[in-house]
Homo-oligomer: A and B are copies of this chain.
């Protein structure tokens, strides 16, 4: 019995395992849509009740799934404290606890459960490439994170020096200026705060010319690392004697 259930819950190569997985994935998406629809202002009482009904149904299925997964797991505690185990728990817990609004928001982390769908579309190799790429660029990303942090701090402190007097509300402190710094260096530029003094504009000029390039380098690093990861994986697969598509 337990072995049979394991085939359904954990194995997605069998027909019934696939149906189970696709159904769960569908319910995850359905419950996310429900979660989003509930926030719409001015929805009628009947619609709200319908959404709650769908929500309740989803949570019951997820709860059964959660218990099943613990039941069929070879090492139940390993599953419970794994990433997916915790996500699965967070996905259902808010429903059972006397819910404050904040707690109820935890439901949104259900979205992480869709990652399991990757098993269905057999993207193990692509995921593996992401792990290889992450290992390759780990150090560079940390370095850029430190450089970006320093750049943000200096930018915020600098603009505070130039603009605080002219715009005491927008650039009230270095913490307020950090908001401007992140919106500027990521090139979002909402336009809610911007320098108006000559000094502030010249400072921003130099910050933009130098800083914008620095902030966008990590994305390029990840892209080249993924390209490199493909080659590494190819060599590893060949070494392991696994057949690979030549056009790959």
Contacts and interface: CB of A to CB of B under 8 A. Distances in A.
A71 interface: no
Interface in A190-248: 190-192, 194, 201, 204-205, 208-209, 212-228, 230, 247-248
Given A41-B168, A112-B150, A194-B190, A220 B223 contact: yes
Contacts of A212: 186, 188, 215, 219
Given A39-B160, A41-B168, A175-B36, A225 B227 contact: yes
A227 B226 contact: no
A184 interface: yes
Contact of A123 (B105, B115, B139, B164): B139
A174 interface: yes
A196 to B, nearest CB: 8
Contacts of A32: 153
26 contacts: A32-B153, A35-B157, A36-B157, A39-B160, A39-B173, A39-B174, A115-B150, A118-B143, A121-B142, A125-B139, A127-B143, A130-B143, A148-B209, A179-B201, A182-B208, A187-B189, A188-B188, A192-B194, A213-B219, A216-B216, A217-B222, A217-B226, A220-B220, A220-B224, A223-B224, A225-B227
Counting chain B CB atoms within 10 Å of each CB, which of A188, A224, A227 scores highest? A188
Contact of A191 (B136, B191, B209, B225): B191
B222 A224 contact: no
Closest 4 CB pairs of A and B: A220-B223, A188-B189, A191-B191, A126-B139
A62 interface: no
Interface residues of A, number: 83
Given A32-B153, A41-B173, A105-B157, A140 B226 contact: yes
Given A108-B154, A190-B191, A221-B226, 20 more contacts: A35-B174, A36-B157, A36-B173, A39-B174, A40-B175, A108-B153, A109-B154, A111-B150, A111-B154, A112-B150, A115-B146, A130-B143, A135-B247, A140-B226, A148-B209, A186-B212, A213-B216, A217-B222, A220-B220, A227-B228
